[in-house]
């Protein structure tokens, strides 16, 4: 008899990390029926990933409205999820990560006594306000979930330290599965190279991404000042900055970094465009959690422009350096990667602690074994 799984996600990172699980479930049609529910927490960016991975969506909630707050997303989201759960009656709800969508998906399932599987469980920064609201979201999901699929041994230990010891599995991170699937797709299509035709692939490229709330204000000013200093000192290096549309980011970038010959200020990239560029850049300056996980599989060093990260495994493994948002620290570490070949190589060749691309298979096999 088939068991039913409902995937709930609403942001681009969630969709990326769920894609390989959905694909894996399609290989188990004899035992698993599944449906996909999207909340639309990220609407346009979410649709790009759904199209790229050819995901069939069964329920589209279109949650987002102009000027919504976390209160709105939470209360409206729960009310929209209730009829979906009552209609499909899944045996298991799968949520991923630490978004508000993941939290309300888990909470809604709990209200109807439906078991929850938490993908990417056990991440902790140990600071409830950084990242906000993600740190508290994932802790609350851990309290609700029946099955915890952790990406690393440290994440497993974090759960054990909180008294969560049953059905905790170290499976790696599904983002690596998605990365390998995605690279295979983009490498065969010329349109991605054409999109970046303004870049000279014989020169070094530094990719920059930044979007987190905790960096708004003076921290982001420092980041931009560091990039400006580096671009002036190293005119032969190409800096590519896909800028988040949030005014707290966009306004500062426009004021400080436009009109510089070797800085390309561009619109946010689609997922396939991003992994194409990641594959070809020299190193990455970022506050993105997903990039901290993906870049080591591409042998790209990472400078993490955050004060704390829940992904310390990469820092400990030597794939990333946590530098905060200080201009001086950013310049110092970027120059070290630019000028010190042995240092660069040690980071580029460090082993990715986040998995080998088999996470989805491990998770679905574990679930089917539980159901036997």
Full-model pTM: 0.85
Q: Can you spell out the DSSP letters for 181-218?
A: HHHHHHHT-THHHHHTTTS-TTS-EEEEE---GGGTTH
| Residues 115 and 229 grouped into a single domain | no
> Structure tokens of 112?
């109807």
| Residues 198 and 341 grouped into a single domain | yes
Structural domain contains residue 183 = no
The count of domains in the chain is 2
| Span 169-195, average pLDDT | 92
The pLDDT of residue 187 is: 84
List pLDDT tens digits, range 325-359.
Answer: 999 999 999 999 999 999 999 999 999 999 889 99
Structural domain contains residue 181 = no
Locus of tokens 């070290």? 336
| Residues 156 and 194 grouped into a single domain | no
List pLDDT tens digits, range 207-218.
Answer: 999 887 777 878
| pLDDT band (50, 70, 90) for residue 202 | very high
Structural domain contains residue 310 = yes
pLDDT at residue 88 tops 80: yes
Structural domain contains residue 177 = no
| Residues 198 and 229 grouped into a single domain | yes
List pLDDT tens digits, range 204-257.
Answer: 999 999 887 777 878 889 999 999 999 999 999 999 999 987 788 888 889 999
Residues with Cβ within 8 Å of residue 348, at least 6 apart in sequence:
299, 300, 301
Structural domain contains residue 182 = no
Domain residue limits at 114: 3-172+357-371
Asked if residue 330 lies in contact with residue 223, where contact means CB atoms within 8 angstroms, the answer is yes
Q: Where residue 225 sits, what CATH number does that domain have?
A: 3.40.50.2000
| pLDDT band (50, 70, 90) for residue 112 | very high
| Residues 91 and 216 grouped into a single domain | no
Compute the distance between CA of residue 78 and CA of residue 185 in angstroms, rounded to an integer.
Answer: 36
The pLDDT of residue 135 is: 95
| pLDDT band (50, 70, 90) for residue 272 | very high
| Residues 52 and 82 grouped into a single domain | yes
| Residues 19 and 167 grouped into a single domain | yes
**Catalytic residue positions, numbered:** 98, 120, 134, 211, 213, 244
Q: Up-side HSE of residue 282: CA atoms within 13 Å toward CB?
A: 22
The pLDDT of residue 236 is: 97
Query: In this structure, what is the dihedral angle of CA atoms 285, 291, 292, 295, given to the nearest 10 degrees?
Result: -90
């Amino acid at each position: 008899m088939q068991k039913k799984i409902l995937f709930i996600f609403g942001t681009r990172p969630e969709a990326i990390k769920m894609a390989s699980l959905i694909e894996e479930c399609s290989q188990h049609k004899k035992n698993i029926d599944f449906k996909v529910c999207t909340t639309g927490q990220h609407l346009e960016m979410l649709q790009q990933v759904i199209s790229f991975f050819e995901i069939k969506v069964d329920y589209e909630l279109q949650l987002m409205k102009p000027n919504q707050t976390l209160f709105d997303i939470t209360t409206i989201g729960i009310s929209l999820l209730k009829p979906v759960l009552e209609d499909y009656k899944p045996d298991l709800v799968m949520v991923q990560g630490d978004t508000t969508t993941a939290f309300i998906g888990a909470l809604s399932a709990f209200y109807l006594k439906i078991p929850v599987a938490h993908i990417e469980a056990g991440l902790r920064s140990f600071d409830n306000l950084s990242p906000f609201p993600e740190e508290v979201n994932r802790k609350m999901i851990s309290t609700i979930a029946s099955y915890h699929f952790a990406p690393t041994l440290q994440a497993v230990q974090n759960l054990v330290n909180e008294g969560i010891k049953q059905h905790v599995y170290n499976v790696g991170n599904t983002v690596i599965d998605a990365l390998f699937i995605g690279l295979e797709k983009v490498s065969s299509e010329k349109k991605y190279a054409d999109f970046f035709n303004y870049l000279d692939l014989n020169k070094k490229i530094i990719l920059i991404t930044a979007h987190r709330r905790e960096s708004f204000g003076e921290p982001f000013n420092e980041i931009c000042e560091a990039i400006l200093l580096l671009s002036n000192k190293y005119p032969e290096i190409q800096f590519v900055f896909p800028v988040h549309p949030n005014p707290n980011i966009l306004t500062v970038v426009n004021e400080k970094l436009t009109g510089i010959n070797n800085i390309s200020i561009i619109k946010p990239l689609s997922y396939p465009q991003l992994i194409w560029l990641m594959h070809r850049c020299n190193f990455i300056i970022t506050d993105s959690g997903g990039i901290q996980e993906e870049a080591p599989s591409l042998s790209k060093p990472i400078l993490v422009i955050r004060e704390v990260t829940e992904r310390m495994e990469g820092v400990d493994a030597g794939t990333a350096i946590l530098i905060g948002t200080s201009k001086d620290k950013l310049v110092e570490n970027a120059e070290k990667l630019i000028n010190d070949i042995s240092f660069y190589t040690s980071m580029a060749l460090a082993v990715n602690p986040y998995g080998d691309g088999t996470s989805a298979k491990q998770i679905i096999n574990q679930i089917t074994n539980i159901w036997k």
